[in-house]
Each structure stands twice: as structure tokens, then as C-alpha cells.
Amino acid sequence: MAKVGMIGAGSWGIALAKLLYNNGNDITVWSALEDEIRMLQTEREHKDKLPGVALPEEMIFTTDLEATMKNKDILVLAVPSPFVRSTAARMKEFLRKGQIIVNVAKGIEEKTLTTLSGVIEDELPDADVAVLSGPSHAEEVGRQIPTTIVVGARSKETAEYIQNLFMSEVFRVYTSPDVLGIEIGAALKNVVALAAGIADGLGYGDNTKAALITRGINEIARLGMTMGGKFETFYGLSGVGDLIVTCASQHSRNRKAGMLIGQGYSMDEAMKEVKMVVEGVHSAKAAIALAKKYEVDMPIVEQVNAILFDGQPADQAVKELMLRDKKIEIIDGAWN
């Protein structure tokens, strides 16, 4: 049995806390929100974000960050991406050297263009930082629906420790040394999912969705490999796997926000309607900035930014994509 500190009590944090408890571990869950902790303590269920998932009496819920971190074998950082740096800074006072921290949020910091593991390492240089990612909606993990995911870490030993901790008959975990590639895939798929949702909101069909997924993973891989990620990562769980589920699922907050925008909502109105952090909105500016920095063509990401921040009508953005200059799909291919 491991002692686990879950830092963040949103839908994903609660789903993973339940999973780890079912695996026989001792779980303490922290949130900065007193009302959220009181609800979890009294209801033993996250009524707002993960209804129907019963939480055991043995699971501890607290606003005491020190108690959540003290004497823990592993910490799971499950706060939304905009709050990763500020939360990591709060953790510094209580962190022991070499502490394993598994980040499960997805995004890129807009101001610094840094991946979230890089943000955590900036604030907590003594930590052993890993990432957990893949096609894994909290709503399904909480209900113990079979799910497969990948853990990326700097060392094989850390990756295998986390793999053993999370692995179960309903949660299969692969390991990878490509932390950068995993994080780029995880962050940028949310931007493409916004585009997929916008297409749904406009009333387009399966052909359009398939095009966005296929060309979207091409954009993500092009940038990620230029930055140093591995080809296999982008066509694995945290790349095409996560992209498919986020573009197609009823649970996807990014797809839902995009759908509302396609139906005529403003970005702010859509985010309020979703009632949870829409990671793709926060990653979109970072994605286009990275594209410019590394001189990578990313037309889908470019049009999502134009819709979100420049007032581009959604239907016009689709026309812009369809009427781009003619291209060849297989660049290195040879005609007979």
C-alpha cells in the first residue's frame, strides 16, 4: 500500500483518487476550496463534477496542504493547467527532496511556452516529476470503464513505480521516456477538439470530423517532433488516442465549448456554459506561439485562434481551411 496525496479535487482528481483507493492505497485529497472539501466530506461524492461516484469513508478530504503532502510516497497534481505554477509554488514549503509528483493536467503555459512538467520543475527543482496522459475521461474512469493511458518519466524506475501504482483490471498503463512528446500531444489535442466542436456546432458531419482529427494529429506531430518529441508518441495513446476521444466524446469540455461557439456563443459565454476549465482555450495562444517560434505550419490551430481571439466567423474559418493552397499528403513519396 502506498500513501498518496491527491492535490486537486476536480473530476479528474476524484476519479484517480477512487481508482488508487480501489487499488489498495491510502488517499488524502486536497482542495483550496473550502466549500468543495465540505461537500466531499459530508456527501462522499462530488455532486457537481463527478456525480454518481461514491467515495469511501476512509478517504480523507482536507484544505491542509501540508497534511496532504507529509509522509506521502507519491503526490498527484490534478489542478487545472492555469493553476499548476501557483499550486506548485505553494507546495515548495512542504516538499521533500526526490518526491515523486505525477502531473495529470494538460496544457502549455502561455507566457513562457513551457510544458507543465517544466513549470513544476521550475518551482520544485528537487522533485521527480512525471506525467500521466491518454484517452481518459474522468466520467468513465470514475465508473471503472476500461481505460488505457501512458506515464512519462525521466527514469525507467519512476515510470514503472507509477505504472504499478495505477495499473488495474480496468486501468492499463504503458510507460514512456518521451515526457515532452506526451505533454505536447496532451495540450494541443484540446485545441483541435475545439475545432471539432465548432464543426459540430455548425452542423457539419463525420467527414469534417475525420478530416480535423487526421490533419490535426499531423499538425501536432509536426510541431512536437520539431521540438524533440518522438514520432511514436504522437501516433500513440497521448497523441491520436487522446485526440480521437476528445474530438468525439460527449464528455469533452473542449468539444462542448467548441460546439457552443459554432452555434454562435462567444468564447466567454461558452466557457461559462461549460462550467469547467476549458484547457484548449488556454493552450491555443501557446500553440500558435510555438508554431511561429519553430516555424511550423499549423492552419487548424491558426484558425481556432482567429475564431477565439480575432472575431473570425466560424464558417469563414472552415472556408479558409478548405481553400488553402493545394498540398501533397505524403511529402517523401515518389511517383512510379
Residue 59 near residue 3, CB atoms below 8 Å: no
Residue 326 has pLDDT above 80, yes or no: no
User: What is the pLDDT, as a whole number, of residue 328?
Assistant: 78
**Rounded average pLDDT over 193-217:** 93
Q: What pLDDT does 252 receive?
A: 87
Contact 68/97 with Cβ under 8 angstroms?
A: no
From the list 18, 106, 189, 209, the catalytic residue is 189
CB atoms inside a 10 Å sphere around CB 195:
32
- Inform me whether the pLDDT recorded for 267 exceeds 90: no
Domain 180-322 fold is N-(1-d-carboxylethyl)-l-norvaline Dehydrogenase; domain 2 (1.10.1040)
pLDDT for residue 325: 77
Tell me, what's the pLDDT at 321?
Answer: 85
pLDDT surpasses 90 at 331: no
Is there a contact between 164 and 156 (Cβ–Cβ < 8 Å)?
Answer: no
Burial of 9-24, coded b for 16+ CB within 10 Å and e otherwise, reads bbbbbbbbbbbbbebe
- The pLDDT, as a whole number, for residue 333 is 66
Chain-centroid distance of CA 234 in Å reads: 14
Domain ranges of the chain: 3-177, 180-322
Query: What confidence tens digit (pLDDT) does each residue in 144-188 have?
Result: 999 999 999 999 999 999 999 999 999 999 999 999 999 999 999
Q: Which CATH architecture has domain 3-177?
A: 3-Layer(aba) Sandwich (3.40)
pLDDT for the residue 93: 96
189 catalytic per annotation: yes
* 115 to 62, 131, 295: CA distances (angstroms): 28, 11, 18
Cα–Cα distance for residue pair 296/294, rounded to 1 Å: 6
According to the model, what pLDDT value does residue 257 have?
A: 92
Answer whether residue 112 shows pLDDT above 80. Answer: yes
Q: Judge whether residue 277 has pLDDT over 80.
A: no
Residue 332 has pLDDT above 80, yes or no: no
CA 126, CA 206: separation in Å to the nearest integer?
A: 47
Whether the full predicted model's pTM is greater than 0.85, yes or no, is: yes
pLDDT score of 304 more than 90: yes
Whole-angstrom Cα Rg for the chain: 20
